[in-house]
Amino acid sequence: MNRPLLSVRTLTTTAAATVTAAALVLGGLAPAAGAAGLVPAAAPAAATTAPVDLVDDAATPETRSLFAYLRDVRGTGMLFGHQHTTDYGESFAVRDGVASDVKAATGDYPALFGFDTLIIEGRERPGVADATREQNALTLAQSIREAHDLGGISTLSAHIENFVTSGDFYDTSGDTLRAVLPGGAKNAELTAYLDLVALAATNAVDSDGTPIPIVFRPWHENAGSWFWWGAAFGTPGEYAELYRYTVEYLRDVKDVHNLLYAFSPGGGFGGDASLYLRTYPGDDFIDVLGYDTYDAGASPAFLTGLVADLGMIAELADARGKISAFTEFGITGGVQPDGQNQNTSWYTDVLDAIMADPEASRSAYMLTWANFGESTTPYTPTDGEMLPDFLAYFDDPRTLFASDLPDVYGGSTDAVAAAPTVHLASPADGARVATSPTTLRASVRGYDADRVYVTVDGAGAGIELTAPTAGGLWWTGTWPVPAELLDNSTHTLTVHVIAGEVEVATRTSTVVTGERPQLEPGTVDDFEGYGDDTALRSEYTQIGANTIGLARATDGAAVGGGEQALRFDYSFATQSYTGIGKQVAGDWSGFWDFQLWVDPDASNNKLVLQLVADGVSFEAYPSLAGDDPYLATIPFADWRPAPWDTAHADRRLTPETLAKVTAFNIFVNAVDGGAASGSVSLDELRAVPGTPPPTTYADVSRDHPDYAAIEWLHGVHDLGDKNGRFHPTRAVSAADLRAVFAAYDASAAAPSGTSRLDLAVALWQLAGSPATGAAHAYRDVPDAATAAVSWAVDSAVMAPASAARFGASSRVDRAELARSLFMADAVRVDTAPVVISNFTSGADGWNIASWETNGGVAAAADGRLVVDPGAGGNWVSWSGGLDLSGRTQLLLDVPATTGFDTKAALQLGPDWTWCETAQAGWVSGAHTGADAVVIDLTTLSADCRALLGDVRGINVYLNEGHHELDAVSVR
């Protein structure tokens, strides 16, 4: 692509501004936030500064200095950061540790360089998939050194794999958050991962061997539930213990002392500090208060919410002696092609809104996401309609880039001694203790304790804990929970710390004891099994600001059944919706209706029931118009995908979808003219058998063997008569076949006749005339049709009449037409050729493999990938994510080659297992289109074929010479 002109920004601060800023700092003052006139480009590191109170009181002087700089720069300017700025880009294809899209666009590097622990896993550059994790950790350390040498401050986020399922960070199954907590089944795996983080951090050193400070941001965006450590998968106390364990292990066991710890729970808090702090681990564990959010248009509503939240966080930081920062931001979906961006002044609109507010402007930095290249959209432009605004953002004296930074590590600071801390690591606050006995683990730091014990509900002599062994973190003991307490009730555990026979500290937390309430299949909740409000709240994720509790009949409250119901109190003072959610796993395919008891509040607001099934959120809306309780029955046929989910607008709650229920959420949305606050009671939320809706055709019942196929065909073309009957056994006519095939695919040829052989041939052609394995020899099938019939039988599209006869001349009835086309459609969707790369816009990520040392070049030219391997040949590699389940062939379109004998090596599954195919045989000359080079994926081992649903990398071997690839695809 064309390299844009560099910004005209002067990359050095004016002398007057520098002198002014220095005078203000040395004089013990700071420039007022929002002050008129020129804002200095940066506040230089002070020669003397206030004491620094960090999570780690043994932090290196450089780490303390960085904290002091970020604290003091707030209000004078905002540092700009970019994730993976030298690892990926639009303006360069090969990482060299220097090239950067931000540098290409502006002439300067970002002030902050963002990295991620995915580098350690080999899933992001500069990590390498086939390197050991220890090697990748050292590579990460080297990258931090490169960023340091380029003048940048390093931040490290953590998208950590699922230790239970071996899936990635988006895999929310397995109850993983609880499994990795102290005492959990997978705590050792998390600990081993933290060892790798420690390895990277302690080896990130400058030219003098001094550790380079890093802003570490683990467990981010936990207010949402898209990561396995999110709000739906643990209580606030359990999340807090996950974060505390991370800090204590790295700081106290691994002696890592060059980290600042950032907390960034997400965005959209409506300026409500209590929502933001809901999962806060505590001042003793956090240095940076962060905020993550994305937006496409910079609308007034978004900017108002953004400023309110950043201002609230800045005030919290001021009160607690922390740094506030916009830890992750960006244009939703990235910078779009010209003409498709909602707001071409997005960067400056966001900056102006923040800087116009005296509190929000006190954010130390703002970091946007990576430009991953290839088919993804970037978060910073290198050309196009968004570039002028990004350059205006860069030119604004209120933004700080790498060349604006002073010596951020050279300030003289004094460390504040850490305050003593006590907390119960397990069971965590709000956790459930389901069995007896259970192990108690208490962290006691900063006290010369000679005795630690735990009392239950303030009674009894207490449970004595044993001091930690050398290198250990916890005082431990065993709590034999009495059987009578295992009744789903809440109890207070108090840690008592004794030093010199004096109680020097106590710390209380609560736990819920007993198994979760057992509910009938299809029941979301009847609210009868909760001993108190705390037990209830431990089962639900809070979304926004609200209060839930138990409404009890014994207190005179109305309930739907039994003795208890849910009371949901809300206010729209700082939000437009609020809700709660619960994980509900089950098969609801046998239910047709949903029922609940509602005691409305006459608010006229919108009550939203949201059922998540097969990954889609379906909604229904009982009324809040009146104030009389009522029983609502809502057929599943009336539920629809959430209005915001336009990608699934046509989905419906079929029995197949209801078999995959995963969550149930309840919201109240503000409505114009509705009440500003209210209280709603709900009870008896359950799926019920109900009455199935009428079938589409009167003569096709739900237990008809071809019911699903006939219903599907109705969506393609209606063959029913005027009386609503389908006539499954009626022979199809030629007109029926023509109409159905035209409706299904206007480009497809209809069968030439109405026999089963005609249909088999037409369906085979519709699927692209795929090759099959061994041919079936049926007496009534001519040789010319053997391939078609063999494919139809092998693919289960059609069944033979017997072992010897296909039934070629038999007429096709309507049920068989529906069944066969339905099956062929599934096969066609599953096996349609997929183009992985066509090289029209570049190399699409293909390169000479990183481990090759014999030279070789791979580059895009004229819509092709041109490969000139080094002596002896090269592997050419691509990495990404693909589901190749059911695929049998990897195809190479080769318009020109000097000749090669290729094979493929796929890297599969979470461990990037190396799986090689057989050789494809010598290829010379052009092989394109139907004659493309075929690499047979069926030659992979059975274990490897089982992993084809999770392809992480593709490698193709090419001999020494010259080769041109026009496309790489699979079928």
Q: What is the mean pLDDT of residues 217-235?
A: 92
DSSP for 497-559, written as a single string = EEETTEEEEEEEEEEEESPPPP--TTEEE-S-S-SSHHHHHTTSEEESSEEEEEEEGGGT---
> Which of the listed residues 626, 653, 688 is the one where a domain comes to its end?
688
The answer to the question of residue 694 being in a domain is: no
pLDDT of residue 747: 82
Task: Out of 241-250, 394-403, 818-827, pick the least confident.
Answer: 818-827
How many angstroms from the chain centroid is the CA of residue 873? 39
Task: Out of 323-337, 730-744, 920-934, pick the least confident.
Answer: 920-934
DSSP for 70-121, written as a single string = HHHHTTT-EEEEEETTTTS-SS-SS--SS--HHHHHHSS-BSEEEEEGGGTT
pLDDT of residue 3: 26
Shared domain for 384 and 434, answered yes or no, is no
How many angstroms from the chain centroid is the CA of residue 747? 39
Shared domain for 785 and 743, answered yes or no, is yes
CA–CA separation, 235 and 414 (whole Å): 37
The answer to the question of residue 412 being in a domain is: no
CATH code (residue 493): 2.60.40.10
Q: What is the CA radius of gyration of the chain?
A: 32
The answer to the question of residue 8 being in a domain is: no
Whether the per-residue pLDDT at 49 is higher than 90: the answer is: no
Distances (CA, A) of 550 to 569, 571, 597: 11, 18, 15
Whether the per-residue pLDDT at 641 is higher than 90: the answer is: yes
Q: pLDDT band for position 43 (50/70/90)?
A: very low
CA–CA separation, 521 and 651 (whole Å): 24
pLDDT of residue 351: 98
Q: Which of 62, 328, 684, 964 is catalytic?
A: 328
Whether the per-residue pLDDT at 10 is higher than 50: the answer is: no
CA–CA separation, 917 and 939 (whole Å): 5
pLDDT (tens digit per residue) in 283-295: 999 999 999 999 8
DSSP for 622-664, written as a single string = ---SSSS-EEEEEEGGG-EE-TT-GGGTT----HHHHTTEEEE
Distances (CA, A) of 924 to 190, 870, 936, 959, 971: 51, 18, 18, 11, 22
pLDDT (tens digit per residue) in 935-946: 988 788 877 877
Q: pLDDT band for position 33 (50/70/90)?
A: very low
Q: Specify whether the CB–CB gap between 608 and 585 falls below 8 A.
A: no
Shared domain for 470 and 585, answered yes or no, is no
Question: Which range marks the domain in which residue 739 is found?
Answer: 707-831
pLDDT (tens digit per residue) in 138-163: 999 999 999 999 999 999 999 999 99
pLDDT (tens digit per residue) in 528-559: 988 889 889 888 988 888 999 999 999 999 99
Shared domain for 557 and 593, answered yes or no, is yes
Candidates 306, 309, 301; CA nearest to 275 is: 309
Shared domain for 546 and 624, answered yes or no, is yes
Bond prior to 655 in cis (omega within 30° of 0)? no
CA–CA separation, 491 and 535 (whole Å): 10
CA–CA separation, 956 and 906 (whole Å): 9
**Is 385 a catalytic site residue?**
no
Q: Which of 124, 189, 221, 241 is catalytic?
A: 221
Bond prior to 126 in cis (omega within 30° of 0)? yes
> Which of the listed residues 485, 513, 541 is the one where a domain comes to its end?
513
CA–CA separation, 323 and 309 (whole Å): 14
Burial class from Cβ neighbours inside 10 Å (0-12, 13-18, 19+) for residue 732 reads buried
Shared domain for 391 and 431, answered yes or no, is no
From start to end of 291-364, where are the E strands? 292-295, 323-324, 326-331
pLDDT of residue 173: 85
Cβ atoms within 10 A of the Cβ of 641, count?
A: 18
pLDDT of residue 832: 54
CA–CA separation, 287 and 143 (whole Å): 23
Token pair recorded at residue 943: 């274990």
The answer to the question of residue 90 being in a domain is: yes
The answer to the question of residue 23 being in a domain is: no
CATH code (residue 359): 3.20.20.80
pLDDT of residue 36: 30
Candidates 865, 872, 849, 853; CA nearest to 960 is: 872
Whether the per-residue pLDDT at 367 is higher than 70: the answer is: yes
Token pair recorded at residue 888: 């049998």
Token pair recorded at residue 800: 């033979």
pLDDT of residue 518: 83
How many angstroms from the chain centroid is the CA of residue 259? 25
The answer to the question of residue 789 being in a domain is: yes
pLDDT (tens digit per residue) in 886-905: 677 899 999 999 999 999 99
pLDDT of residue 30: 32
Burial class from Cβ neighbours inside 10 Å (0-12, 13-18, 19+) for residue 62 reads buried
More confident residue, 84 or 268: 84
Shared domain for 490 and 540, answered yes or no, is no
CA–CA separation, 380 and 104 (whole Å): 11
Candidates 200, 206, 202; CA nearest to 148 is: 206
pLDDT (tens digit per residue) in 745-804: 888 889 999 999 999 999 999 888 887 777 888 999 999 999 999 999 988 899 999 999
Shared domain for 53 and 186, answered yes or no, is yes
pLDDT (tens digit per residue) in 171-224: 888 899 999 999 999 999 999 999 999 999 999 999 999 999 999 999 999 998
Q: pLDDT band for position 96 (50/70/90)?
A: very high
**CA dihedral defined by 215, 371, 382, 264, rounded to 10 degrees?**
-40
Candidates 589, 586, 590, 579; CA nearest to 619 is: 579
CA–CA separation, 936 and 888 (whole Å): 6
Question: In a 3-state reduction of DSSP, which class is residue 340?
Answer: coil
Q: What is the mean pLDDT of residues 389-408?
A: 97
What percentage of residues in the chain have a pLDDT greater than 90? 70
Shared domain for 474 and 582, answered yes or no, is no
More confident residue, 37 or 392: 392
The answer to the question of residue 414 being in a domain is: no
Shared domain for 748 and 887, answered yes or no, is no
Q: pLDDT band for position 32 (50/70/90)?
A: very low
**Is 221 a catalytic site residue?**
yes
Q: Specify whether the CB–CB gap between 770 and 792 falls below 8 A.
A: no
Shared domain for 461 and 540, answered yes or no, is no
pLDDT of residue 882: 81
Give the angle 788-789-794 at the CA atoms, nearest 5°: 100
Cβ atoms within 10 A of the Cβ of 691, count?
A: 10
CA–CA separation, 88 and 374 (whole Å): 10
pLDDT of residue 39: 36
CATH code (residue 878): 2.60.120.260
CA–CA separation, 216 and 196 (whole Å): 14
Q: What is the mean pLDDT of the chain?
A: 90
Cβ atoms within 10 A of the Cβ of 110, count?
A: 32
> Which of the listed residues 631, 659, 688 is the one where a domain comes to its end?
688
Q: pLDDT band for position 585 (50/70/90)?
A: confident
Pairing mode, strands 616-620 and 847-848: unpaired
pLDDT of residue 963: 94
Shared domain for 827 and 842, answered yes or no, is no
Q: What residue has token string 């999110």?
A: 230
pLDDT of residue 13: 32
Q: Specify whether the CB–CB gap between 380 and 367 falls below 8 A.
A: no
Q: What is the mean pLDDT of residues 289-305?
A: 90
Whether the per-residue pLDDT at 37 is higher than 80: the answer is: no
Q: pLDDT band for position 27 (50/70/90)?
A: very low
Number of domains in the chain: 5
pLDDT (tens digit per residue) in 100-123: 999 999 999 999 999 999 999 999
Burial class from Cβ neighbours inside 10 Å (0-12, 13-18, 19+) for residue 28 reads exposed
